[in-house]
Amino acid sequence: MSFDYDLFVIGGGSGGVRAARVAAQGGAKVALAEESRYGGTCVIRGCVPKKLMVFASEYPGHIEDAQAYGWDVTGGDFDWLAFRGKLEGELDRLEGVYRSLLKNSGVETFDTRAKLVGAHEVELADGTRKSAKHILLAMGGWPVKPEQKGAELGITSNEIFHLGKLPGKMLIVGGGYIACEFACILNGLGVEVTQYYRGEQILRGFDGEARGLVSEEMIQKGVDLHLGTNILEMEKTGEGIRVKASNGRTDVFDEVMFATGRAPNTRDMGLEELGLELGRNGEVIVDEYSQTKVPSIYAIGDVTDRVNLTPVAIREGMAFVETVFNGNPTPVDHELIPTAIFTQPEMGTIGLSEEEAREQEPVEIYCTSFKPMQQSFAGRADRVLMKLVVSQQSRKVLGCHIVAPGAGEMIQLAGIAVKMGATKEDFDRTVAVHPTMSEEIVTMREPVRKA
């Protein structure tokens, strides 16, 4: 049977674009459909604009530090519209780069929605049908609002980049990394930020000591964080959005942002009708080679809800091409993935938290918390944390957790050692780079506790 294409990709985010491009460069006939903007969550409404906002929000602190170091500088007001215009220009540029990469690789693109109508067939929004030997689902995910009265008054992380003006007073609901990052960003930009999280501590699933420090530092920097707190009701009033909380507090905010979860983009895609298996959150169930129950259909990235990170989606896309087009079955390695949370201070982490490791085997904990030289000299009370979780038996470093400015940069490099299986003694043998914050990672001689 002859097909229109060797591969049809649904979704123009980081994973889908990489898979389409690499398959086409290898000689396959490839098409890709994207109903929104090319670049997906990461480039258009995630990592890239968020990190640029992080940079913008850090300048008030830099100006204060400069004054403490003897510079005669003063900061003016933040011009949100000037920043937003530049941000949108940069996103347009990056989307153009993605489009060029596809075009130059010979991928045919369709700027429209596509859904499955057969094991080898997709239907575009205008009713046109295209056939392909292989179909790759890479539709990503989307923020979801809680099902509660008044939720439609709130925004999500998608809309935060496009606000007409910065709110004076804002409520952020949630305790995951998206909620915490934006609480820090907006606080840094001069917004009065309140954060509600129903759990007992923010950043659930991360190392307890590390997330405790991030929480303390956020509060110290001005975020009004309320744990064990949820919204009971919200309504629009003349002054803004009136919110009644479970802690007995009623307050009025200019904006309310929900960062309470994301769901895979699988609705109305024709998946279940074809026999594809979906999980509880609507995610596409795949095997270690990203293959679904229908052999010709694969899925990668956030739509599979495995590890929802851009570099992981890209790796899954590469592994898919290796498996399907290069005849080299390649499972995706989801073990020991370094990650950064761009709160202020940042958190970088790889491997097991102390809590997870203790349940698995006897461990030693090496940990130090201190005031870094740069901030201490400037009179700031900021604290940082360096922590290693070490197996008592194998001596391997099972987890590394850093809370500090630049923790994302540090964990990328520490992650190489942990991924290679470095032991505590390997760390000890490495000479310290002095004076740096990260030297503490290789100078901790005695465990603070064993568990």
Sign of the CA dihedral running 395, 399, 401, 406 = positive
DSSP secondary structure of 370-416: E--HHHHHTT----EEEEEEEETTT-BEEEEEEESTTHHHHHHHHHH
Q: Are residues 156 and 138 in the same domain?
A: no
Return the pLDDT at 168: 98
Q: Are residues 441 and 377 in the same domain?
A: yes
Q: Are residues 27 and 131 in the same domain?
A: yes
List pLDDT tens digits, range 394-410: 999 999 999 999 999 99
- pLDDT band of residue 15 (cuts 50, 70, 90) is very high
Return the pLDDT at 160: 97
Are the C-beta atoms of 400 and 349 separated by less than 8 Å? Answer: yes
Q: Tell me the Ramachandran region of residue 411: left when phi exceeds 0, alpha when psi lies from -120 to 50, beta otherwise.
A: alpha
Q: Which two tokens stand for residue 315?
A: 């790796």
Q: Are residues 286 and 362 in the same domain?
A: no
- pLDDT band of residue 264 (cuts 50, 70, 90) is very high
Task: Give the separation between CA 226 and CA 179, rounded to whole angstroms.
Answer: 13
Residues 6+ apart with CB under 8 A from 280: none
Q: Which two tokens stand for residue 393?
A: 């038996």
Are the C-beta atoms of 142 and 302 separated by less than 8 Å? Answer: no
List pLDDT tens digits, range 351-399: 999 999 999 999 999 999 999 999 999 999 999 999 999 999 999 999 9
Q: Are residues 29 and 136 in the same domain?
A: yes
Return the pLDDT at 222: 98
Query: What is the mean predicted confidence (pLDDT) over 50-75?
Result: 97
Q: Is residue 331 part of a domain?
A: no
Q: Is residue 353 part of a domain?
A: yes
Query: What is the mean predicted confidence (pLDDT) over 303-318?
Result: 98
Q: Is residue 350 part of a domain?
A: yes
Q: Is residue 329 part of a domain?
A: no
* Residue at which a domain ends, from 241, 260, 279: 260
Closest to 195 (Cα-Cα) out of 213, 222, 160, 163: 222
Residues pairing with 121 in the sheet:
118, 131
Burial of 433 (0-12, 13-18, 19+ CB in 10 A): exposed
Residue 5: which H helix or E strand, with range?
strand 5-10
Q: Are residues 104 and 68 in the same domain?
A: yes
Q: Are residues 270 and 132 in the same domain?
A: yes
List pLDDT tens digits, range 142-166: 999 999 889 999 999 999 999 999 9
Residue 57, domain CATH? 3.50.50.60
The number of folded domains in the chain is 3
Q: Is residue 332 part of a domain?
A: no
Q: Are residues 10 and 134 in the same domain?
A: yes
Residues carrying an active site annotation: 434
Q: Are residues 249 and 373 in the same domain?
A: no
Q: How many CB atoms lie within 10 A of CB 167?
A: 19
Q: Are residues 102 and 215 in the same domain?
A: no
Are the C-beta atoms of 311 and 300 separated by less than 8 Å? Answer: no
Query: What is the mean predicted confidence (pLDDT) over 237-259?
Result: 97
Residue 412, domain CATH? 3.30.390.30
Residues pairing with 30 in the sheet:
7
Residue 190 confidence (pLDDT) above 90: yes
- pLDDT band of residue 1 (cuts 50, 70, 90) is confident
Which structural domain, as residue segments, surrounds residue 201? Answer: 151-260
Q: Report DSSP state, residue 204.
A: T
Q: Is residue 297 part of a domain?
A: yes
Q: Are residues 229 and 271 in the same domain?
A: no
Q: How far is CA 340 from the centre of its chain?
A: 8
* Residue at which a domain ends, from 271, 301, 324: 324
Task: Give the separation between CA 311 and CA 86, rounded to whole angstroms.
Answer: 25
Residue 417 confidence (pLDDT) above 90: yes
Q: Is residue 116 part of a domain?
A: yes
Residues pairing with 240 in the sheet:
none
- pLDDT band of residue 26 (cuts 50, 70, 90) is very high
Does the N-terminal peptide bond of residue 435 adopt cis geometry, omega within 30 degrees of 0? yes
* Residue at which a domain ends, from 260, 285, 312: 260
Task: Give the separation between CA 451 and CA 449, rounded to whole angstroms.
Answer: 7
Q: Is residue 330 part of a domain?
A: no
Q: Are residues 28 and 49 in the same domain?
A: yes
Single-letter residue type at 11: G
Burial of 104 (0-12, 13-18, 19+ CB in 10 A): exposed
pTM for this prediction: 0.96
